[in-house]
Amino acid sequence: MNYKTMFSLEGKKAVVTGGCGYLGKETVRGLVDYGAKVAVADSRITVDDAYAADIEYMECSLDSTDAVKEAMRKAAGNEKKIDILITMAANLGAGIQSGVEDMDDTYWKKGLDGTVGYTFRTIREALPYMKNSRSGSIINIGSLYAVGAPDPRTYTDTPFSSTPNYGAGKAATVELSKFCAAYLARYGIRVNSISPGSFPHPNVQENRLFKERLEAKTMLGRIGYPDDLVGAMIFFASQASKYVTGVNLMIDGGQTAW
Ligand SMILES: NC(=O)c1ccc[n+]([C@@H]2O[C@H](COP(=O)([O-])OP(=O)(O)OC[C@H]3O[C@@H](n4cnc5c(N)ncnc54)[C@H](O)[C@@H]3O)[C@@H](O)[C@H]2O)c1
């Protein structure tokens, strides 16, 4: 093992769903910097001008199996190979129904499908190409709320909320990762999840009360920023983690450790 190159992604093909989003964009940049060829599957393409030359953008809605199938086929290219799959995209659907009492069946199902459903569908359709890699790495995205409940006091007197279908879908995503780790080991594919803590978008950060409450919940005394995730993404994607599978890594400033 050459330790100087153990994090290298040279020659690797990576697919990132939701790669145009707040966290996805920075992860894509990290993959490119480490040498991967990256294909982004997102329903709303926003081109990252600084990195566009190294990224293949595929407009695709993960609601449609046919669209996911086609995106994976395109990303795999002539080599018919995908080495790294990062399933970032999530969508709870329009509107916010945050309470257990008022959440209807449609919204409940949308939240589950927009989290673990997207993840499952993407893995299933990428699999024929990942098997050809023989050393594939899948990274799914969980959440702080996959392993613990949101504290309702954090949200009091703010316009924000966290919904029961989101946490349930993310907990299922973490479990799906472990299932797939066991099931796909036979193909040399490793599967791990990364669970971000509080990474509020810039517009949410403008609410000082909310931001301060989130900060106070962490050991490190601050919210997360997209670049806080990139080191772990490269670790899981590369041979540096070749004996790591079935792990859910919390990146939450210590929030779940106390
Ligand atoms: N931001 C946080 O605080 C936080 C915390 C924990 C976990 N997460 C998870 O991290 C991931 C990324 O979060 P984010 O904050 O970057 O969100 P984001 O909304 O900025 O990005 C999500 C991306 O997914 C895409 N997307 C949505 N529906 C899609 C569909 N049907 N088909 C294809 N693409 C679709 C969107 O266009 C967007 O680019 C999500 O899985 C989220 O649940 C975020």
Which of 125-155 are b and which e, b meaning 16 or more Cβ less than 10 Å from the residue's Cβ?
Answer: bbbebbbebeebbbbbbbbbbbbeebeeebe
40 CB near ligand 1 (under 6 Å): no
Which structural domain range is residue 76 located in? 13-257
What is the reported pLDDT for 93? 75
What is the reported pLDDT for 98? 75
Residue 145 alpha carbon, nearest atom of ligand 1: 6
**pLDDT tens track for 49-98:** 999 999 999 999 999 999 999 999 999 999 999 999 999 999 987 667 77
Ligand 1 centre distance from Cα of residue 2 (Å): 35
What is the reported pLDDT for 95? 66
91 CB near ligand 1 (under 6 Å): yes
Q: What is the CATH number of the domain that holds 86?
A: 3.40.50.720
**pLDDT tens track for 173-183:** 999 999 999 99
**pLDDT tens track for 90-145:** 998 766 777 899 899 999 999 999 999 999 999 999 999 999 988 999 999 999 99
Pocket test of ligand 1: the residue of 91, 96, 217, 256 to mutate, having most ligand atoms within 8 Å of its CB, is 91
Residue 4 counted as domain residue: no
Minimum CA distance residue for ligand 1 atom 7: 143
